[in-house]
Amino acid sequence: MTAMQLRDLTDLPETHQSIVGNYDGSYTLGVVDDSPGFLLRVASKDISTFPRKVSVRGLEVPVTVVGNTPGPVKLGLQG
C-alpha cells in the first residue's frame, strides 16, 4: 500500500478506531512516506497499549507511536 493510499485511509473513522481504540486523550494520526505506515502521536507517556501494526484491507501496516507529545493548540482569531 502506498503512502497516498494510507493518507486516504486516515479520513476513515474505522482506521482511527483500529489504531487508538478507546483512548480518549489528544492524538494526531498521519502517514510516514518511507516504508509507508501510520504515524500516531499521543499525549500519553504510556504507549504500550497502542498497536505497532494494524490490518488494513488485508495487509499489515506498521504503526509508529510517539508518546508524550503536546496536543493540538487552538488558535484564537482576533477581530
8 within 8 A of 15, measured Cβ to Cβ: no
Q: Which residues contact 35 (CB under 8 A, 6 or more apart)?
A: 62
Mean pLDDT of the 4-10 span? 91
In the chain, DSSP finds a helix count (H) and a strand count (E) of: 2, 4
Does residue 54 have a pLDDT over 60? yes
Residue 35 banded pLDDT, cuts 50, 70, 90: confident
Backbone dihedral region of 76: left (phi > 0), alpha (psi from -120 to 50 degrees) or beta? beta
